[in-house]
Structure formats: C-alpha cells, structure tokens
Structure 1
Amino acid sequence: MSIHSINVRNQFRGRIKEIIHGPVVSEIDVETPHGIVTSVITTRSVEELGLKPGTEVVALVKSTEVAIAKI
C-alpha cells in the first residue's frame, strides 16, 4: 500500500528512537528535526508494521480539538 495523498497537515518525518512495549499498547518515540514526537499505538500494530528503533517513519498528527491552558 502506498499513500498518494492525505488530509493530515501536521506531518513529522523521523526515525524511531525507542519503543516501550506493553501487553496491549506500546509507546513509540520518534526523533524528528523538531524534537521527539511520542505516539501510543497497539502492540499488535507495532508487530504488524515491523517497527523497531531506527525505522524511518512519518508521525501524522490529526486532532479535532486543541485545548489551551493558561499558565
């Protein structure tokens, strides 16, 4: 499968730095030129995608809500 176009505008190309495996979900740290982007996905998806440290990926960030907190 290849993606020809996508509506997600926030895309961060990088390499997987670390994977913290859990029984159901895993935490994926992606090192990008702008810093670390962390994703939580199912452990099954990690296995099916063959993800491991060093793998080149694109982190796609889509949100229908952005919350703002005054500090």
Structure 2
Amino acid sequence: MKISARNQLPGRIVAIRPGAVNGMVKVDIGGGMTVTASITEEAITDLALAEGDQVTVLIKASDVLIGK
C-alpha cells in the first residue's frame, strides 16, 4: 500500500486504554519517546491491535502546534 504521509515512525504498542468511542494507543518509538494516538474503538478492533504489536505511526497534519 502506498500512502502520502511522509512522517512514518516504527514502534511497539506499550498500552491501549479503551474508551466509550475512542481509545488511546501508546506507541514506544525508541529513544525514550512515545506517541499517543486517539483512535476509534472500531479501528482498534478492526486492526486487532494489542500490546506488544509492532506498528507504524503515520502522521499527516495540516497544522502542527507547539506550546511551552
């Protein structure tokens, strides 16, 4: 599958926190860094995501915000 997102970060799922509609999936991308994604419970089920799975975090956004 080809995709347009150029920001692709391989990692391993370290936690999944279910929610009513969306769940939180935490991915260890190495170097002591993690990425947390809020995705639908349906997507978590469809992808059969589980802790320990190797995944790729894909980031495509028109806006990136940084705060301090």
With the length of structure 2 as denominator, give the TM-score of the two structures: 0.88
Which amino acid in the other structure matches residue 22 of structure 2?
A: V
CA distance in structure 1 between the aligned counterparts of 2:16 and 2:3, rounded to whole angstroms? 26
Residue aligning to 2:44: 46
Percent identical residues: 34
Residue aligning to 1:7: 4
1:67 deviation in Å? Answer: 2.8
Give RMSD over aligned pairs.
1.3
* Count of matched residue positions in the alignment of Structure 1 and Structure 2: 67
Structure 2, gaps ≥5 residues long:
none
CA distance in structure 1 between the aligned counterparts of 2:45 and 2:65, rounded to whole angstroms? 32
CA distance in structure 1 between the aligned counterparts of 2:65 and 2:11, rounded to whole angstroms? 26
Structure 1, gaps ≥5 residues long:
none
Q: Deviations over 1:17-68 (max 9, x none)?
A: 0000012100000001241011000001101110010011000011101234
Q: Describe the shift of the 1:32–1:68 C-alpha distance in structure 2 as closer, same or farther (beyond 3 A).
A: closer
1:28-67 aligned within 5 A: 28-34=25-31, 35-67=33-65
**Secondary structure of the corresponding residue to residue 50 of structure 1:** coil
